[in-house]
């Protein structure tokens, strides 16, 4: 189907009564539909998501261009909730975050992200830290949640978060230990699980997914980066949060529909928070 035709149809469905009556359904809380891999496919991907019961997708930026792309997509597709931010992987190329503040002030961004720390990339943490801190401060100032990336940098990440009491947000693709999980929960953060928990050998993610209380759980795909059990990364789309939910429910010994309803409430609390 031609993307423009699909896009018109989807926008019509999205603004209709069913959405208001039944809510958006499940949310993919982390998916890069602004990645070139989704160029020309966004309308079809969102239509398939809606059919599967996934009515919202949070789309984080990783630099200025991808953040603007997330905002542009959100203007076209009501199902897309945009976030703006500078990813730690981009810090070597770009360290100025003033554009994040400008976009957050001028747009309908629902979060600051994707931001965080990564101890396994070339840019040293000394470069990443001021960029991360500036964006945390901005999120606190604007009372927006943060979408957090962390790899091999849990101690400095937790230290930065402690400097900003009241910061809200999500640890995306959570891969930390149960001890780290407890610290994050104590700060009021949510934890999002994706393809990792669907892979039988990913014990660490599964242990965290079992240990996390249901009122802090979120679902994500991180498409197009992360594969799922039986689904290669390039084929993963927002509708694939449904197998993640099933896997989470099975691991926790809970009913998938009940857990899904709880997670819908968690998304609402994350996005509609007002002090
Ligand atoms: Zn991401």
For the segment 61-85, what is each residue's pLDDT rounded down to a tens digit? Answer: 999 999 999 999 999 999 999 999 9
Q: Domain total for the chain?
A: 1
**What is the distance in A from the centroid of ligand 1 to the CA of 275?**
28
**What is the distance in A from the centroid of ligand 1 to the CA of 31?**
7
State the pLDDT at residue 11: 33
Residue 86 sits at φ, ψ, to 5 deg, of -110, 115
**What is the distance in A from the centroid of ligand 1 to the CA of 247?**
21
Contacts with 32 (C-beta within 8 Å, 6 or more apart), sequence order: 38, 59, 60, 62, 66, 222, 223, 224, 225
**What is the distance in A from the centroid of ligand 1 to the CA of 114?**
6
Pairing of strands 54-60, 80-84: parallel
**What is the distance in A from the centroid of ligand 1 to the CA of 202?**
19
**From residue 73, how far is each of 11, 50, 121, 219 by CA, in Å?**
12, 16, 29, 21
Please state whether 222 falls in left (phi above 0), alpha (psi between -120 and 50) or beta.
left
**What is the distance in A from the centroid of ligand 1 to the CA of 67?**
12
- Measured CA to CA, the distance from residue 213 to residue 248 in angstroms comes to 12
State the pLDDT at residue 152: 94
State the pLDDT at residue 22: 63
Who surrounds ion ligand 1 at CB < 5 A? Answer: 114
Residue 148 sits at φ, ψ, to 5 deg, of -105, 130
- The first and second tokens of residue 58, run together, are 């949070």
Query: What is the extent of the structural domain holding 124?
Result: 3-272
State the pLDDT at residue 75: 97
Of the chain, the end-to-end C-alpha distance in Å amounts to: 45
Please confirm whether the linkage preceding 11 is cis (ω < 30° from 0). no
Query: Which one-letter DSSP state was computed for residue 25?
Result: B
Are 46 and 10 spatial neighbours (Cβ–Cβ below 8 Å)? yes
**What is the distance in A from the centroid of ligand 1 to the CA of 112?**
12
**What is the distance in A from the centroid of ligand 1 to the CA of 82?**
13
Largest distance between two CA atoms of the chain: 50
Please confirm whether the linkage preceding 62 is cis (ω < 30° from 0). no
State the pLDDT at residue 43: 98
**What is the distance in A from the centroid of ligand 1 to the CA of 118?**
12
State the pLDDT at residue 200: 87
- The first and second tokens of residue 214, run together, are 């249901």
- The first and second tokens of residue 243, run together, are 């197998």
Low-confidence ranges of the chain (pLDDT < 70): 1-22, 274-275
pLDDT tens, residue by residue, 7-59: 322 233 332 223 334 678 999 999 999 999 999 999 999 999 999 999 999 99
Pairing of strands 146-151, 111-118: parallel
- Measured CA to CA, the distance from residue 20 to residue 138 in angstroms comes to 32
State the pLDDT at residue 12: 32
Query: Which one-letter DSSP state was computed for residue 91?
Result: T
**From residue 7, how far is each of 12, 31, 87 by CA, in Å?**
9, 18, 29
State the pLDDT at residue 122: 87
CATH code of the domain containing 241: 3.20.20.140
Are 32 and 236 spatial neighbours (Cβ–Cβ below 8 Å)? no
Q: Cβ of 124: how many Cβ atoms within 10 Å?
A: 11
Task: Read off the pTM.
Answer: 0.90
């Amino acid at each position: 189907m031609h993307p423009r035709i699909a896009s018109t149809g989807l926008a019509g469905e999205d603004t209709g009564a069913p959405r208001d009556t039944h809510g958006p359904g499940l949310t993919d809380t982390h998916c890069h539909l602004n990645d070139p891999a989704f160029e020309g496919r966004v309308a079809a991907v969102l239509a398939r998501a809606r059919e599967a019961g996934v009515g919202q997708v949070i789309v984080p930026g990783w630099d200025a261009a991808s953040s603007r792309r997330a905002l542009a997509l959100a203007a076209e597709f009501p199902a897309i909730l945009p976030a703006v931010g500078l990813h730690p992987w981009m810090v070597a190329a770009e360290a100025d975050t003033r554009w994040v503040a400008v976009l957050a002030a001028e747009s309908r961004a629902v979060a600051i992200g994707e931001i965080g720390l990564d101890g396994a990339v070339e840019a040293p943490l000394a470069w990443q830290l001021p960029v991360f801190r500036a964006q945390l401060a901005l999120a606190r100032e604007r009372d927006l949640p943060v979408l957090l990336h962390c790899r091999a940098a849990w101690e400095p990440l937790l230290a930065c978060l402690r400097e900003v009491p009241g910061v809200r947000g999500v640890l995306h693709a959570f891969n930390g230990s149960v001890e780290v999980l407890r610290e994050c929960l104590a700060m009021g953060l949510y934890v999002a699980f994706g393809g990792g928990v669907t892979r039988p050998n990913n014990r660490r993610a599964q242990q965290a997914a079992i240990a996390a209380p249901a009122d802090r759980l979120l679902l994500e795909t991180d498409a197009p980066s992360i594969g799922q059990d039986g689904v290669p990364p390039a084929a993963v789309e927002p509708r694939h949060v449904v197998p993640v939910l099933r896997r989470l429910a099975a691991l926790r010994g809970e009913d998938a529909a009940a857990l899904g309803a709880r997670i819908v409430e968690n998304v609402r609390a994350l996005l509609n928070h007002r002090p």
